């Protein structure tokens, strides 16, 4: 699935660095960055309601390509600058995390435990 498809499925707003044709292989939904560090791999998109710079740093460490903030959360300008410098697309959706994860799963994006390794 591409970032463009994620944007369309979630009716999301692009906050920075869209990179519309980048392939995303899996998804993770969490507000606990320790869980993301422990369990995520393979160019995942991170769905979260946590809005702080640690989210961007965690995504960078895990080589993620996209972050989607749920529940209409908006990152700060400093967060967007950091994300752009790391090449991470940032989106925001009005959907709640449960709904957003379900929409992406139904659209064909799997959890990282379900992709071919």
Task: Identify the pLDDT of residue 110.
Answer: 81
Task: Identify the pLDDT of residue 65.
Answer: 93
Residue with tokens 């908006």: 74
Residue with tokens 């139904």: 106
What are the residue ranges spanned by the domains of the chain? 3-108
Task: Identify the pLDDT of residue 117.
Answer: 45
Given a contact cutoff of 8 angstroms between Cβ atoms, the answer to whether 92 and 25 are in contact is no
Task: Identify the pLDDT of residue 113.
Answer: 62
- Give per-residue pLDDT as tens, 3-40: 999 999 999 999 998 788 889 988 999 999 999 998 87
Compute and round to an integer the Cα radius of gyration of the chain. 12
**The architecture CATH gives domain 3-108:** 3-Layer(aba) Sandwich (3.40)
Task: Identify the pLDDT of residue 72.
Answer: 97
pLDDT at 46 over 90: yes
| Residue closest to 95 by CA, chosen among 36, 10, 26, 21 | 10
- Give per-residue pLDDT as tens, 87-108: 999 999 999 999 999 999 999 9
- Reported pTM: 0.92
């Amino acid at each position: 699935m591409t970032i463009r498809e994620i944007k369309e499925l979630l009716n999301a707003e692009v906050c920075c660095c869209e990179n519309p044709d980048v392939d995303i292989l899996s998804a993770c939904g969490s507000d606990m960055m320790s869980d993301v560090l422990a369990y995520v791999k393979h160019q995942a998109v991170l769905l979260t309601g946590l809005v702080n710079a640690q989210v961007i740093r965690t995504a960078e460490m895990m080589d993620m390509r996209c972050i989607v903030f749920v529940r209409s959360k908006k990152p700060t300008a400093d967060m967007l600058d950091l994300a752009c410098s790391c090449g991470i697309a940032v989106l925001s959706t009005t959907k709640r995390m449960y709904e957003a994860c379900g929409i992406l799963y139904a659209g064909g994006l799997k959890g990282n435990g379900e992709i071919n390794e």
